[in-house]
Chains A and B, each alone.
Chain A
Amino acid sequence: MAYSFPEEVLEYVFAFLSSDKDRNAVSLVCKSWYEIERWCRRRIFIGNCYAVSPQIVIRRFPEVRAVKIKGKPHFADFNLVPEGWGAYLYPWISAMARSYPWLEEIKLKRMVVTDESLELISKSFKNFKVLVLSSCEGFTTDGLASIAANCRNLRELDLRESEVEDLSGHWLSHFPDNFTSLVSLNMSCLGSEVSFSALERLVSRCPNLKTLRLNRAVPVEKLPSLLRRAPQLVEFGTGAYSAEIQTDIFSNLVEAFSGCKHLKSLSGFWDVVPAYLPAMYNVCSRITSLNLSYATVQSPDLVELISQCPNLKCLWVLDYIEDAGLKALSSYCKDLQELRVFPSDPYGAEPNVSLTEQGLVTVSAGCPKLQSVLYFCRQMSNAALIAIARNRPNFIRFRLCIIEPQAPDYLTLEPLDTGFGAIVENCKELRRLSLSGLLTDRVFEYIGTHAKKLEMLSIAFAGDSDLGLHHVLSGCESLRKLEIRDCPFGHKALLANAAKLETMRSLWMSSCSVSYGACKLLGQKMPRLNVEVIDERGSPNSRPETCPVEKLYVYRTVAGPRVDKPDFVWTMDEDAALRLS
Chain B
Amino acid sequence: MLMELELGLALPNQTPVDIKRHIKQKRESAEAFDNGEIENKKLCLLLWSGQPNEEEDDRRGSQRTDNKRINEEENIIVGWPPINSMRKELLHHHHQQYHGGNWIARFPGRDNNNGARNRMSLLVKVKMEGVAIGRKIDLRLFNSYQALKHTLLHMFSKYLKIDRNGTEYTVLYQDKEGDWLLAGDVPWETFMESVQRMEILRNDS
A521 touches B56 (CB 8 A): no
User: Given A161-B84, A465-B53, A512–B120 Cβ distance below 8 Å?
Assistant: yes
B120 touches A347 (CB 8 A): no
A512 CB contacts on chain B under 8 angstroms: 120
B108 CB contacts on chain A under 8 angstroms: 347-350, 378, 403-404
How many Å lie between the Cα of A552 and that of B109 in the bound state?
Answer: 30
A497 CB contacts on chain B under 8 angstroms: 7
Q: Mark A81-102, 1 if CB is under 8 A from B, else 0.
A: 0000000000000000000000
User: For the complex, is A461 an interface residue (Cβ under 8 Å from B)?
Assistant: yes
Chain A: CB-nearest residue to B88: A346
User: For the complex, is B9 an interface residue (Cβ under 8 Å from A)?
Assistant: yes
User: For the complex, is B145 an interface residue (Cβ under 8 Å from A)?
Assistant: no
User: Given A161-B84, A513-B53, A344–B46 Cβ distance below 8 Å?
Assistant: no
Q: Which of A345, A403, A460 contacts B91 (CB 8 A)?
A: A345
User: For the complex, is A553 an interface residue (Cβ under 8 Å from B)?
Assistant: no
Q: Which of B37, B50, B82, B95 contacts A345 (CB 8 A)?
A: B95
Q: Which of B9, B87, B107 contacts A347 (CB 8 A)?
A: B107
B83 touches A538 (CB 8 A): no
Interface residues of A in 331-358 (CB under 8 A from B): 342-350
Chain B: CB-nearest residue to A162: B86
B46 touches A495 (CB 8 A): yes
User: Given A348-B108, A401-B82, A465-B53, A486–B11 Cβ distance below 8 Å?
Assistant: no
B85 CB contacts on chain A under 8 angstroms: 77, 79, 163
Q: Which of B36, B48, B56, B138 contacts A488 (CB 8 A)?
A: B56
B35 touches A517 (CB 8 A): yes
Q: Which of A189, A345, A496, A537 contacts B151 (CB 8 A)?
A: A537
User: For the complex, is A299 an interface residue (Cβ under 8 Å from B)?
Assistant: no
User: For the complex, is A515 an interface residue (Cβ under 8 Å from B)?
Assistant: yes
How many Å lie between the Cα of A536 and that of B149 in the bound state?
Answer: 14
A79 touches B78 (CB 8 A): yes
Name the residue in B3, B37, B147 with the highest tally of chain A Cβ atoms < 10 Å from its Cβ.
Answer: B37
How many Å lie between the Cα of A55 and that of B137 in the bound state?
Answer: 40
Chain B: CB-nearest residue to A490: B53
Closest beta carbon of chain A to B90's beta carbon, Å: 6
Main secondary structure of the interface of A (DSSP, over half): loop
User: Given A465-B51, A499-B10, A513-B120, A403–B81 Cβ distance below 8 Å?
Assistant: yes
A521 touches B38 (CB 8 A): yes
Chain A: CB-nearest residue to B78: A79
User: For the complex, is A255 an interface residue (Cβ under 8 Å from B)?
Assistant: no
A496 touches B38 (CB 8 A): no
User: For the complex, is B77 an interface residue (Cβ under 8 Å from A)?
Assistant: yes
A495 touches B9 (CB 8 A): yes
A511 touches B81 (CB 8 A): no
How many Å lie between the Cα of A506 and that of B151 in the bound state?
Answer: 29
Q: Which of B48, B105, B118 contacts A496 (CB 8 A)?
A: B48
Interface residues of B in 78-115 (CB under 8 A from A): 78-87, 90-91, 94-95, 103-110
Closest beta carbon of chain A to B107's beta carbon, Å: 7
Q: Which of B79, B94, B155 contacts A79 (CB 8 A)?
A: B79
How many Å lie between the Cα of A403 and that of B12 in the bound state?
Answer: 38
User: For the complex, is B33 an interface residue (Cβ under 8 Å from A)?
Assistant: yes
B79 touches A346 (CB 8 A): no
Stretch at the interface among A5-13, A59-67, A119-127, A542-550: A542-550
Main secondary structure of the interface of B (DSSP, over half): loop
A344 touches B91 (CB 8 A): yes
Interface residues of B in 12-27 (CB under 8 A from A): 12, 26
Q: Mark A317-340, 1 if CB is under 8 A from B, else 0.
A: 000000000000000000000000
How many Å lie between the Cα of A466 and that of B143 in the bound state?
Answer: 23
A79 CB contacts on chain B under 8 angstroms: 78-79, 85
B51 touches A538 (CB 8 A): no
User: For the complex, is A80 an interface residue (Cβ under 8 Å from B)?
Assistant: yes
B83 touches A78 (CB 8 A): yes
User: For the complex, is B28 an interface residue (Cβ under 8 Å from A)?
Assistant: no
A490 CB contacts on chain B under 8 angstroms: 53, 55
A346 touches B120 (CB 8 A): no
Interface residues of A in 470-498 (CB under 8 A from B): 470, 485-488, 490-492, 495-498
A293 touches B87 (CB 8 A): yes
A537 CB contacts on chain B under 8 angstroms: 141, 151, 154-155
A496 CB contacts on chain B under 8 angstroms: 5, 7-9, 46, 48
User: Given A135-B84, A525-B9, A466–B53 Cβ distance below 8 Å?
Assistant: yes
User: For the complex, is B150 an interface residue (Cβ under 8 Å from A)?
Assistant: yes
User: For the complex, is B119 an interface residue (Cβ under 8 Å from A)?
Assistant: yes
Interface residues of B in 157-198 (CB under 8 A from A): none
Chain A: CB-nearest residue to B83: A346
How many Å lie between the Cα of A285 and that of B63 in the bound state?
Answer: 55
Show 28 residue pairs from A and B whose CB-CB distance is below 8 angstroms, ordered by the A residue.
Answer: A77-B85, A78-B82, A78-B83, A78-B84, A161-B86, A296-B94, A347-B103, A347-B106, A347-B108, A349-B108, A405-B77, A405-B80, A405-B118, A434-B82, A460-B82, A465-B51, A465-B56, A488-B53, A488-B120, A497-B7, A498-B9, A499-B12, A517-B38, A518-B37, A521-B33, A521-B38, A538-B150, A538-B151
Binding site for B on A (CB under 8 A): 75, 77-80, 135, 161, 163, 189, 270, 293-294, 296, 342-350, 376, 378, 401, 403-406, 434, 458, 460-461, 464-467, 470, 485-488, 490-492, 495-500, 503, 511-513, 515, 517-518, 521, 524-525, 536-538, 542-548, 550
Closest 5 CB pairs of A and B: A78-B79, A496-B7, A465-B52, A517-B35, A546-B37
